[in-house]
Structure 1
Amino acid sequence: MARSVKTKNSRARRLTAALAALSSVSVLSLAAIVMEPVALHHPNALGWNAAAQAATPPAAAEPGDFAGIVARVKPAVISVRVELDGTQQTADDGQDGSPDSGGGSGVMIGQGSGFFISADGYAVTNNHVVDHAKLVEVTTNDGQNYSAKVVGTDPKTDLALIKVEGSDFPHVNFADERPRVGNWVIAIGNPYGLGGTVTAGIVSAEGRDIGAGPYDDFIQIDAPINRGNSGGPAFDVNGDVIGVNTAIFSPSGGSVGIGFDIPADTAKAVIAELKDKGHVTRGWLGIQQQQITPDMADSLGLKQAKGALIDEAEPNGPAAKAGVKPGDVVTAVDGTAINDPRELAQKIGKMAPGSSATLTVLRDGAMQDISLTLGTMPADRPPEVVAANDSGSVPPNEQNLGLLIAPASKVAGTDQKGMVVVAVDPNGEAAQHGLSAGDIILDVGGKAVSNARDFRQDLMSLRKEGKSAALVRIQSGGTTRFVALPLDHA
């Protein structure tokens, strides 16, 4: 009995000492001690069930313990090796592969990643990994090598579908829903030729436009990806592919924790079409469009700088045939709001050629619906450069904008309508708003101009109407755009 009491007293003294020690810990440290196991054992984050969690000692679970998921999906991830003609760039254009002289043979070698999406050997990778490839070879997780053929590519989304002959290949599925910012993400690939490399992080942002193409809608992740990861998968904690690793932001060439993935829903739609037809067809309006700035919004009578401003409707294109005009602002497609030109391009690009669409446009301060039938997007055409070099006199009002203009009909080398900008003051308002010599002013406030008097009078009329800026339509380098010139300098 005494022995038992003594034992209890000893335990009590030890407990008291332990509590005294804990009382000296700062609030922040104590919070970390208390909260860390909660975060580590979150069942949703790691996909555990209650029984499994109860059976596992708390100390055994750590953040990023994705061993079970990796073991399940890693066999579906492949390394992709390509050989190209020596006149071509290497795979990843020198970003995800290293050039190899091939022993003086004139062969360039590049490396990337990919993943099987079916048991019969279909696999996804990036277009820039297999672009211009003479030979494509893949290596599986167990070290087996296979020749692959390119089934189809889509440069606009940088996706490609390749095929390996065989059966019973381990494969993975695309996720049905987009991840949320803050969700765990696991990247697997072939960085620097080191196949089967696994990294983890979180989804950092979504809807990123990095200037890679008209359909940019990247998921940003901070799981480290490097040269050679291109074309590989990024998984969620269910083992589903949430994106295709495609690009990194890297001043140094290595990972700085900013990577970009093509979303699974985009990849799934594109890959299905590549499998069916070998290429992707997209709806087409036949327009040039631009972002609306706050200055432009005021000139257009918009409360917010939202929508897509039509710079030009290509003659005989679907939009022009339906009556779309320069200066129209597309605010919705089939009732879905359009915030900017990228949204319009993505919306139309996902629609099938020949399908019907209704554009809601703002024109002359009033909304109207325009119904049309989409065409098929043609191959890209390079713009022609417009150049003009001449001099001439110009009224003082135009000089206040820092512009020297002359009728296009009187400037050598042009047969255009409108006014040619023959010189700009580099410190003037026109230069600050993007005008340069050679630009052609087509209209001001929706009215065509052919001489300096028209230009000046149109500016004065807009200022009397209470406008703070004049919306000027410019043709430059084969493209058309709008510029908002401030009227307090006109």
Structure 2
Amino acid sequence: MKHAAGTLAFIARFVVIGLAAAFVISLIWPGVGHRLRARFGLSPADVATSASAPAERIAGPASYADAVKRAAPSVVNIYANKMVTEQAVQMYTDPVLQRLFGGRPAGPAYKRREQSLGSGVIVSSKGYVLTNNHVIANADDIQVLLYDGRVAKAKVVGADVETDLAVLKIDASNLPVIHIADHQPVRTGDVVLAIGNPLGLNQTVTMGIVSAIGRQLSSASPEDFIQTDAAINLGNSGGALVNSEGELVGINTLLIGKAANAEGIGFAIPVSSAKKVLDQIIDTGHVVRGWMGADYTFVPIAADSGLPAAARGAQVTDIYPGGPAAQAGIQPHDILLRIGSDDIADPADLRRHEAALKPGSKVEVSGLRNGSPFHAEVILAQRPPLTPTASLDG
């Protein structure tokens, strides 16, 4: 018994001495343990338990220079010139009259040339350039500055007020065409780069993420927008919003500036919508959308509505006299739940569905009227043009 106890005490002393020596060695040579494990063919995964192993992290690129190099040559600067007529005004000297009337005309009206700055994206080797409609609206002369320093005169092929898009045509060779991202849709949280001509500073790149998708900027429009916190300033309008691979995901169109107490809120037209507009304008010179002749709002949830708690659809608020909906017998307060073979998620979804249909086509609409199911066949008309709205910035 005494012999066994002495043996255990002997082993314990050597264990303590060994641990103390290992501690001292680790302080003097911190990497010796790793080197010994590597010499004997043991990886950190072999000696660490799965419970204590850190979660795998996917590191992003340290630089987006390759993406910029791929996309930047396709982004152009646009200089739109127009003649503006102005009237000289002489202010009243009387403070009361000045406050009431400001001033009175002084001399004949005069004309001056006004230039607006913007950006554009080369989308075809044939010379087609996408930009914003508000950049080139009412312009008498449009000049495009290419990445390599060439200057080309542009003509307007067509424009679409609802998406604020315009298609220009330039006559130039060896044009660098942007790569379009069509392999997967953009997602909230994706890294994006805005490339353009802000404040006349050529080829400026800003970085951010996709803050949201499917944003509706107008209840009357079927279009949705990408929201981003990549810095967009005056002159960025019409420029490219690209992903981390340098592929086009959107056309920058406007921002909500500090005048609205906002920061980091910009918007871009999704490339899928921009491409549809581009194709139609090239083919016909304008964009054609289907229209039912009604306005909609979200479905109200009430205890006596007969609707489930998670009701979807769109409630009709107004019917345009003589329009397709009126002729089909649709009434205000009707709740529309289905168009054709598709369910209706919300008013914006319904507008996108009707806009995608060709004028003259017949579609069945179903829903609830006073809690009872109803069906109607609507022959769509062509959507009338919307009144242009002023952009907030960009």
SS in 2 for 1:211: coil
Q: Higher relative contact order at CA 8 Å, sep ≥6: structure 1 or structure 2?
A: 2
Letter in 1 for 2:82: L
The alpha-carbon distance between structure 1 residues 255 and 341, as it changes in their structure 2 partners (threshold 3 A), is closer
Going from structure 1 to structure 2, the CA distance change for 1:299 and 1:193 (only over 3 Å counts) comes to: farther
Number of aligned residue pairs: give it: 322
What SS does the corresponding residue of 2:169 show, helix, strand or coil? strand
- Aligned runs of 1:141-220 on 2, under 5 Å? 141-176=147-182, 177-211=184-218, 214-220=221-227
Deviation of 1:333 after TM superposition, in Å, equals 1.2
Residues 29-428 of structure 1: matches in 2 within 5 Å?
38-40=57-59, 42=60, 46=61, 62=62, 65-87=63-85, 105-176=111-182, 177-211=184-218, 214-252=221-259, 256-294=263-301, 297-298=302-303, 300-304=305-309, 306-380=312-386
**1:288 and 1:13 mapped to 2: Cα distance?**
77
The answer to whether the 8 A contact 2:26-2:32 is kept is: no
CA distance in 2 between counterparts of 1:311 and 1:343 reads 16
Contact 1:355 1:373 in 2 (8 A): yes
SS of the equivalent of 2:210 reads strand
| Structure 1 residues 211 and 319: CA distance shift in structure 2, 3 A | closer
Q: Is the 8 A contact 1:186 1:201 kept in 2?
A: yes
SS in 1 for 2:205: strand
The separation in 1 between residues aligned to 2:127 and 2:56, in whole angstroms, is: 42
Q: Alignment partner of 1:132: what SS?
A: coil
- Normalising by structure 1, report the TM-score: 0.60
Q: CA deviation at 1:143?
A: 1.8
Q: Distance in 2 between matches of 1:362 and 1:35?
A: 54
In 1, Cα distance between equivalents of 2:256 and 2:318: 34
- How far the C-alpha of 1:306 sits from its partner, in A, is 3.3
2:66/2:246 contact within 8 Å kept: no
Report deviation, 1:221.
1.2
CA–CA distance in structure 1, aligned partners of residues 283 and 200 of structure 2: 31
**Taking structure 1 as reference, are residues 105 and 315 closer, same or farther at Cα in structure 2, changes over 3 Å only?**
closer
- Answer whether contact 1:335 1:360 (CA < 8 A) is retained: no
2:203 and 2:261 map into 1 onto residues whose CA distance is 18
Q: Secondary structure at the match of 2:218?
A: coil
DSSP 3-state at the match of 1:352 = coil
Give, in whole Å, the separation in 1 of the partners of 2:172 and 2:150.
12
Q: What CA distance in whole angstroms lies between the structure 2 residues aligned with 1:18 and 1:106?
A: 79
| Paired amino acid for 2:72 | K
Listed one character per residue, the Cα deviations across residues 448-473 of structure 1 (whole Å, up to 9, x for unaligned) are xxxxxxxxxxxxxxxxxxxxxxxxxx
Maintained 8 Å contact 2:219/2:348:
no
**Cα distance change on mapping 1:379 and 1:335 into 2, 3 Å:** same
Measured against aligned partners, the alpha-carbon deviations of 1:421-443 in whole angstroms (never above 9, x if no partner) come to xxxxxxxxxxxxxxxxxxxxxxx
Alpha-carbon distance between aligned partners in 1 of 2:365 and 2:55, rounded to the nearest angstrom: 52
What one-letter code is carried by the residue in structure 2 that aligns with 1:244? Answer: I
Distance 1:375 1:351 in 2: 10
CA RMSD of aligned residues (A): 3.0
Q: 1:215: how far off? A: 2.5
TM-score (norm 2): 0.74
Tell me by how many angstroms 1:154 deviates: 0.2
How many angstroms does 1:113 deviate by?
Answer: 0.6
Partner SS for 2:236 = coil
Q: CA deviation at 1:343?
A: 1.8
Unaligned runs of 5+ in 1: 1-8, 20-33, 47-61, 89-103, 383-490
Identity of aligned residues (%): 37
Distance apart, 1:77 and its partner CA: 0.4
User: Which is greater in Rg?
Assistant: 2
Contact 1:225 1:255 in 2 (8 A): no
Q: Which amino acid aligns with 1:326?
A: P
